[in-house]
Amino acid sequence: MTVAQFLATELHRRGVRYVFGIPGGPSIPYLDEFKRVGIEFILTSSETAAGVMADVTGRLTGIPGVCHATYGPGATNLATGVGGALLDRSPMIALTTEVPVKMRQRTIQMNIDHQMLFEPVTKATSVMHRKNAGDIINDAFDLALAEQPGPVHIGLPDDISAKQVSSGVINYDTEEWDQETNFDSETATLLEYSRKPLLVAGLSAARNNCGAEIELFLKDNPMPVIITPMAKGLISEDNPCFAGVFFHALSDRLKPLIEECDLVISLGYDPVEYNYEKWLPDVPLIHINTTISDMPAGLMVKQIKGSLAGIPEIISTMLPETLEWDMTMVKTVRNEITRPLRKRYTSFSPVTLLKTLRNFLPPEGILTLDVGSHIHLFGQLWRAPATGKLLMTNGWSSMGFSIPAGIAAKLNFPELPVVSVTGDGGFLMVAGEIMTARRYGIRIIIIVLTDGEMNLIKLKQQQRNVESYGVDLFEGDLFGADTFLGVPVLRATDNKSFIKALKKASGIEGPVIIDAAIDKSAYADTIVVS
């Protein structure tokens, strides 16, 4: 086979069904082979969005998402989306066209060193040629899926697509990662003498499907549980042990529980979402994760690396039979955090919109969030019935995530309803992807929360007693028309018109935008600015 035939065949054999990106001239042989084997090339409006779509595909399917860009500016644009996969822990293969190896050191149009570009935002970067193609694909998939998952970059020199592959035997079976987790006597002693342990769980616990085990553990060992934003849906929010989410709206209300504990048990907590030093009390920490994390000096920490499977049961055997938590504290804290949901707002508050949307979207539906003030509200107050039903970026936290994430979610699960919520700032960064959704007939509801400013930055300016500057986006109506790039735009200025817009949007076959003109004042009352 030629390199182009080989790459397409191997990607399809390993479960890849979409490649996201923007092609260049040297991409043509690969696109032809993708089409031949049954891989659909999704043309995006920006390479950054292609990276986000590959990221979300990897998260939702467990098969590395694949994205592609051409030389220089295509690659630099792609790098932003690739960085999201690194810090949000999503398996990905990023492909870029490169100049031939013999020309890499020459002054040539669009030429930069792609390996140096991608080295800090990937787990590894390499260059494919006809003799190493098999090894490159094997290693890329193995590494992308290994704990912690992430992106791997492969450079494709523009003169290799038609060359014959001369690789050796190809390994099609990736071994499942499994490493025994061992507790030493010191860790056992910490658990044995704890009376008020606090359980915190995060991204790794969600990715490794630890929710059911944690729920069983809590029945015999009732203690407060706090999760990180990307672990939303890990356990039921009806569980009496569930206290709330770090970092997001009203998370300062968690402080009484944190101050009361005598031990922190950290299961699959990834500091990439929220560093320990921002909240950890002066008590011992047992940090259990699939990889070793860097820790600040001065912590009383026991790090344990290995598989998370079965860990809650092991911990249960080491804890005392009776804990001393007054679990009414958890209920009090939870009620204080969810207080905005019970408040009657006279204006069109984002909290009102959240409640209405939660009633509209069925439990199996997927909600994607952008970065901005609204993510703090939704990240804390949106009830996610399971992991994978609320998608956000928190490790990378790049604006412009929600819309391409929603497109990818709908492509991979066309039978599920998908809603993307974004602020007007995030929308403006990826507005071109509305055409991507239109081009492929993606049936998705895009809700743009319009307040005319970068509200989260404005709140931070106010907290620092700095005059608001550089945050105003526009005056008046964002869209000023009933269509945008040929996609219907519905206007909502209050809850009644929002409900009407949702009902109308649900009957539209392709993408639809709801321009929700919200009252931003609720953000100042709920968001903990850091």
In DSSP notation, 185-251 reads HHHHHHHHH-SSEEEEE-HHHHHTT-HHHHHHHHHHS---EEE-GGGTTSS-TTSTTEEEESSSTTG
Answer yes or no: is 171 within a domain.
no
Q: How many domains, in total, are found in the chain? A: 3
Q: How far apart are CA 457 and CA 460, in angstroms?
A: 5
* Model pLDDT for residues 433-483, shown as the tens digit of each residue: 999 999 999 999 999 999 988 998 988 898 889 999 999 998 889 999 999
* Model pLDDT for residues 327-376, shown as the tens digit of each residue: 999 999 999 999 999 998 999 999 999 999 999 999 999 999 999 999 99
- Please report which confidence band the pLDDT of residue 108 belongs to, taking 50, 70 and 90 as the band edges: confident
What is the predicted pLDDT for the residue at 349?
A: 96
Answer yes or no: is 460 within a domain.
yes
Query: In 10 A of CB 198, how many CB atoms?
Result: 26
> Who's near 414: CB < 8 A, 6+ residues apart?
443
Share of the chain above pLDDT 70, in %: 97
What is the predicted pLDDT for the residue at 107?
A: 73
Please name which of 341, 333, 325 lies closest in space to residue 244, comparing C-alpha atoms.
333
pLDDT higher than threshold 80 for residue 104: no
Domain boundary among 337, 357, 382: 337
Q: How far apart are CA 493 and CA 497, in angstroms?
A: 6
Name the more confident of 139 and 101: 139
> Who's near 392: CB < 8 A, 6+ residues apart?
229, 230, 368, 369, 371, 375, 379, 401
Residues 228 and 271 both lie in one domain: yes
pLDDT higher than threshold 70 for residue 175: no
* Model pLDDT for residues 267-300, shown as the tens digit of each residue: 999 999 999 999 999 999 999 999 999 998 888 9
Residues 141 and 265 both lie in one domain: no
pLDDT higher than threshold 70 for residue 525: yes
Please name which of 62, 94, 99 lies closest in space to residue 81, comparing C-alpha atoms.
94
Cα–Cα distances (Å) from 115 to 33, 46, 50, 128, 254, in that order, read 25, 21, 19, 12, 44
Answer yes or no: is 168 within a domain.
no
CA max distance for the chain:
71
- Report the CATH number that the domain containing residue 36 is assigned in CATH: 3.40.50.970
Q: Taking the C-alpha atoms of 427, 430, 434 and 440 in order, what is their torsion angle to the nearest 10 degrees? A: -140
Q: How far apart are CA 149 and CA 259, in angstroms?
A: 33
Bond preceding residue 148 cis, omega within 30 of 0: yes
Please name which of 439, 402, 465, 517 lies closest in space to residue 41, comparing C-alpha atoms.
439
Please name which of 32, 33, 60, 31 lies closest in space to residue 43, comparing C-alpha atoms.
31
Cα–Cα distances (Å) from 308 to 147, 208, 215, in that order, read 11, 7, 14
Residues 317 and 371 both lie in one domain: no
Residues 394 and 380 both lie in one domain: yes
Mean pLDDT of 51-75: 98
Residues 318 and 349 both lie in one domain: no
Residues 213 and 301 both lie in one domain: yes
Answer yes or no: is 165 within a domain.
no
- And the tokens for 448? 């743009």
E strands within 330-436?
366-369, 390-391, 418-423
In DSSP notation, 458-494 reads HHHHHHTT----S-B--SS-SS-SSEETTEEEEEESS
What is the predicted pLDDT for the residue at 179?
A: 66
- Please report which confidence band the pLDDT of residue 169 belongs to, taking 50, 70 and 90 as the band edges: very low
Q: What average pLDDT does the structure give for the chain?
A: 94
Residues 400 and 521 both lie in one domain: yes
Answer yes or no: is 457 within a domain.
yes
Residues 431 and 502 both lie in one domain: yes
Answer yes or no: is 167 within a domain.
no
Q: How far apart are CA 448 and CA 498, in angstroms?
A: 12
Instruction: Identify the helix (H) or strand (E) that includes residue 433.
Output: helix 433-439
pLDDT higher than threshold 80 for residue 88: yes
Answer yes or no: is 189 within a domain.
yes
- Report the CATH number that the domain containing residue 198 is assigned in CATH: 3.40.50.1220
pLDDT higher than threshold 50 for residue 129: yes
What is the predicted pLDDT for the residue at 171?
A: 57
pLDDT higher than threshold 70 for residue 174: no
Domain coverage including residue 507:
339-526
What is the predicted pLDDT for the residue at 262?
A: 98
Q: How far apart are CA 333 and CA 44, in angstroms?
A: 44
Residues 454 and 486 both lie in one domain: yes
Answer yes or no: is 223 within a domain.
yes
Mean pLDDT of 65-69: 98
* Model pLDDT for residues 478-513, shown as the tens digit of each residue: 999 999 999 999 999 999 999 999 999 999 999 999
**Under a CB-based contact definition with an 8 Å cutoff, are residues 254 and 274 in contact?**
no
Residues 71 and 153 both lie in one domain: yes
CA atoms within a 13 Å half-sphere pointing along the CA-CB vector of 129 = 5
Mean pLDDT of 210-227: 98
Residues 391 and 307 both lie in one domain: no
* Model pLDDT for residues 304-321, shown as the tens digit of each residue: 999 999 999 999 999 999
**Under a CB-based contact definition with an 8 Å cutoff, are residues 452 and 517 in contact?**
no
Residues 121 and 193 both lie in one domain: no
What is the predicted pLDDT for the residue at 181?
A: 78
Q: How far apart are CA 128 and CA 497, in angstroms?
A: 54
Structure letter (DSSP) for residue 273: T
> What predicted TM-score, i.e. pTM, was given to this entire model?
0.95
